[in-house]
Amino acid sequence: MSTTYGDNRERVIGIAAELFARNSYHGTGVAEICTAVGLGRGALYHYIGNKEALLYEISKTQVDRMNDQAEELLRAGRPAEELLREMARQLLRNIASHRSEWAVFFREYTALTGEKRDKVVAARERYEGYWRQVLDRGVDERVLRPTPRLLVKGILGMLNYTYLWFEPGGPVSPDELADEFLDALLDGVRLKG
């Protein structure tokens, strides 16, 4: 893939993510995307194939990135608490840098059909599985107690939905917020003693 093609494709995907995040997938027409990116319909299709392919790329790219990062962390063999903290930091950094893409992922992936939807759901489940592995590792290391299987969805829900309100460049960094969330999760919020 040439740099120009790749750069143009990324630009198209980025602008479409902003439009889908603002107006919804179904509320954004191909003509609107063409106008926003400054391309005719034929040139647009050269970069994206069709509108659903564009939604697929937006929906899958960031979760694939998070899966790659989680796999790398797990291979490093770090202690479970350290892994949880770093996975939370990486996720919040990514959400802060790609808010539009995450908004599209969370709100619009259900508009995908067939194999595309199946792949996005599988990628999301794979990411949840990495979190479960880390929690299980913490039990094996005797630093965490066994937890219900659904706790992973609760933890990720707490982190994921920061896309709605977190302001990058605000008074708290993504890493600081991740640490605050993990401290509350690991230590609880009940006053001890």
- The DSSP 8-state label assigned to residue 39 in this structure reads -
| pLDDT, position 49 | 86
- Per-residue buried b or exposed e for 155-169, using 16+ beta carbons within 10 Å of the residue's own CB: bbeebbebbeebeee
Question: Which is nearest to 105 in space by CA: 26, 181, 44, 163?
Answer: 163
pLDDT reported for residue 6: 85
Question: Which pair of structure tokens corresponds to residue 116?
Answer: 């595309």
Secondary structure string (H, E, C) spanning 116-167: HHHHHHHHHHHHHHHHHHHHHHHHHCCCCCCCCCCHHHHHHHHHHHHHHCCC
pLDDT reported for residue 5: 86
Could you say which of 3.40.710.10, 1.10.357.10, 3.40.50.720, 1.10.40.60 is the CATH number of the domain covering 58-187?
A: 1.10.357.10
| pLDDT averaged per 10 residues, the chain (length 193) | 79 94 95 92 87 95 96 94 97 96 95 97 97 95 92 95 93 96 87 68
pLDDT of 193 reads 63
- 0.75 exceeded by the pTM? yes
CA distance 132 to 113: 27
